[in-house]
Amino acid sequence: MLYLFIGQDLPAKDAALKRIKEESLPRKLEDFNLDVLYAEKLTLKELQEKILSIPLNSHKRIVLIRDAQELQKIIDDFIAVWAARQDKNTILILDIGSERPKAAFLRSLSKYAKVIRFKEEIIPSAFNLSRQIEKRQSGKALLILNQLIKEGEPVERILGGLRYSLENNMVNPRGLRLRLRLLLNCDIEIKTGRLKPVFALEKLVVNLCALA
């Protein structure tokens, strides 16, 4: 069995891990059938040894990889092959803080895995602003926008980051011309003083969310 823990809510992840342990491992033998590995220092040989180990007086064993977004490519490839066939005795859990560095890899695994998403800390940036717009999360998008403005992010950089994300969005390329027109209108409203920058940007974000 393969699990993908995606997000940054560590207490919730620990609770989910506890449930899996209770369902899968004899309580007195948990320590003998659970391996916690860390991606940054993990070698392919070490992972192979852990995955191929036989459970001790149990039907299952658990291998948990923390910070799996930092795995080496050679280990990604091994996991992809393993996921397609999966060992019935092993539960592999990939604990991923941010899916962005491994987006393609995680998409390829998702058809073999149980994906559990946890609360994600939203760091204010033009990229995360664009991401919330794509998801039509106008409330979260406006929150990020206001954080950026409070932190003194220049209007030009916010608009530039949005333009870059829109022009490079391969997931939803339709309607690009209309989105860029909204961006241009916002820029004009700000430069001509028709609207205060914060109001113009909020209007832009709401309109872009409606089109996403």
Task: Give the model confidence (pLDDT) of 76-133 as tens digits.
Answer: 999 999 999 888 899 999 999 877 778 889 989 999 999 999 876 666 788 889 888 8
82 closest CA partner among 54, 43, 108, 117: 108
Residue 27, number of CB atoms within 10 A of its CB: 7
What dihedral angle (degrees, nearest 10) is formed by the CA atoms of 118, 98, 49, 84?
80
Helices marked H in 154-196: 155-167, 176-191
Integer Cα distance of 139 and 161 in angstroms: 19
pTM for the full predicted model: 0.59
189-212 pLDDT tens trace? 999 999 999 999 999 999 999 886
Integer Cα distance of 185 and 182 in angstroms: 5
